[in-house]
Amino acid sequence: MDIKYIYTSVIGAVVGCIIFSIVLFFVNPSVFTKNNNVEVKENKKDITPIVINSSSIPEATEKIMPSVVYIDTKSFTKVNRPVANIFGIPAYRSQVVPQKGSGSGVVIDKSGLILTNEHVIHGATEITVTFQNDESYPAVIKGSDPVSDIALIQIKTDKTDSEIKPAVLGDSDKLKIGEPVIAVGSPYHFQQSVTYGVISARGRNLSDQSKDFQDLLQTDAAINPGNSGGPLVNLKGEVIGINTAIIPYAQGIGFSIPINTVKNIVNQLNESGRVIRPYIGTSIQDLNKHLAYYLRYDGEPKGVVVIGVSKGSPAEDADIRPNDIILKADGKTLSSSEDLRRIIRNSKPGDVISLDVWRNGEIINISVTTAGN
């Protein structure tokens, strides 16, 4: 092929492309313009946000404040004091000395019943309660429960029902992670102090040398010594927890007892001064994929496996057996052992709990009646 012909063809093609581009530019310039508009797909899902306006916190605070009290206690404790002697041998003398304590509480009934922590009034021989208006009244212990760290006291007063403003108790089961809350109490004797935060987590377990807490609410609302026994409140002004503990070496990690756990305990303390805990008599464990494979359960590995059954227990009477997989309790799907413990804990001795149980490839329904311990 002639070289001259090839050059001519190439030059003609290039010139043709240039001419075509110039014409296209004048006809439709947007072809050469970068489109910076990004198409956004509209999310049709309706999401209802939690609306917090400038008055939400003040309104909730104003609603709860008349119900929050400062608790001052006096007790006596025995201490060993060193004493001098002529022989120079260390010696000690036991001596009883007065001791003061303080905390917070919340009024829950027009009769003057006040909810607080057991460790606030533990060993107290004298209790004084001070309200928002600085009026103070003596109080007596109606009942206390060291296990849950809940106590119920009652003021001695001639105040009428209309003068006592009990708080509204909410529903802690409806709380959501991230939901705004406020903590009210008297940290370091600074009475009627308010802090703000959110629900950081639910179902926290916490143990120390004297307490073994289960199913606590975690919040970053500041909780300090003196806040113990005070309420954790939602933006409706409802009590959804009782502040009880902190991690002293951390910041923004406080814990509250869910109010739904407290309700059953308070009723028992008011009636008998003590708490009888319901039980069914099983040892349980979370279901996982390994246990599911071992038990030949081909469903979703979510539920509670029965490891053992106590002799003479309600579980044995109801024919619950080891290796049973409990999927639901009272119609609620169980995701963990704590879910079942919570349902039992919030029941009363004599209540009947309906269980959906998987056994050898079949799902059966078992009704078990709780007993008191």
Q: Which of 186, 228, 256, 347 is catalytic?
A: 228
Q: What is the pLDDT of residue 209?
A: 60
**Distance between alpha carbon 109 and the CA centroid of its chain, in Å?**
23
More confidently predicted of 79 and 254: 254
Which letter does DSSP use for residue 187 in this model? Answer: G
Q: What is the pLDDT of residue 368?
A: 97
Is residue 235 situated within a structural domain?
Answer: yes
> For this structure, is 119 an active site residue?
yes
What total of structural domains would you count in the chain?
A: 4
> For this structure, is 228 an active site residue?
yes
Is residue 137 situated within a structural domain?
Answer: yes
**How much is the average pLDDT of 136-151?**
93
> For this structure, is 122 an active site residue?
no
Is residue 291 situated within a structural domain?
Answer: yes
Say whether both 122 and 84 belong to one domain: yes
Q: Which of 67, 72, 104, 119 is catalytic?
A: 119
Is residue 54 situated within a structural domain?
Answer: no
The answer, yes or no, to whether residue 312 has pLDDT greater than 50, is yes
Say whether both 123 and 210 belong to one domain: no
Burial 89-123 (b: 16+ CB within 10 A, else e): eeeeeeeeeeeebbbbbbbbbeebbbbbbbbbbee
Give the E-state strand segments of 171-303 in sequence order: 180-185, 193-207, 212-219, 231-233, 239-246, 254-258, 278-279, 282-286
Domain boundary, last residue among 272, 287, 307: 272
Q: What is the pLDDT of residue 12?
A: 61
Q: Which amino acid is at 31?
A: V
Indicate the pLDDT class of residue 248, thresholds 50, 70 and 90: confident
Burial 158-176 (b: 16+ CB within 10 A, else e): eeeeeebebbebbebeebe
**Distance between alpha carbon 82 and the CA centroid of its chain, in Å?**
46
Report the alpha-carbon distance of residue 305 to residue 302 in Å, rounded.
10
Say whether both 259 and 198 belong to one domain: yes
Please give the residue range of the domain that contains residue 13. 3-30
Indicate the pLDDT class of residue 156, thresholds 50, 70 and 90: confident
Say whether both 151 and 78 belong to one domain: yes
Say whether both 315 and 244 belong to one domain: no
Say whether both 178 and 245 belong to one domain: yes
Say whether both 77 and 139 belong to one domain: yes
Q: Which of 145, 149, 220, 356 is catalytic?
A: 149
**Contact at 8 Å (CB) between 322 and 305?**
no
Domain boundary, last residue among 127, 146, 163: 163
Is residue 257 situated within a structural domain?
Answer: yes
- What tens digit of pLDDT does each residue of 180-205 get? 999 999 998 898 899 999 999 998 98
Is residue 289 situated within a structural domain?
Answer: yes
Say whether both 289 and 350 belong to one domain: yes
Say whether both 257 and 283 belong to one domain: no
**How much is the average pLDDT of 275-289?**
93
Q: What is the CATH number of the domain that holds 282?
A: 2.30.42.10
Q: Rounded to 5 degrees, what are φ and ψ at 271?
A: -85, -40
79: helix, strand or coil:
strand
Domain boundary, last residue among 240, 272, 304: 272
Is residue 56 situated within a structural domain?
Answer: no
Q: How far apart, in Å, are the Cα atoms of 250 and each of 181, 246, 247, 255, 263?
A: 20, 8, 6, 12, 30
**Contact at 8 Å (CB) between 329 and 319?**
no
Is residue 58 situated within a structural domain?
Answer: no
The answer, yes or no, to whether residue 157 has pLDDT greater than 50, is yes
Say whether both 321 and 234 belong to one domain: no
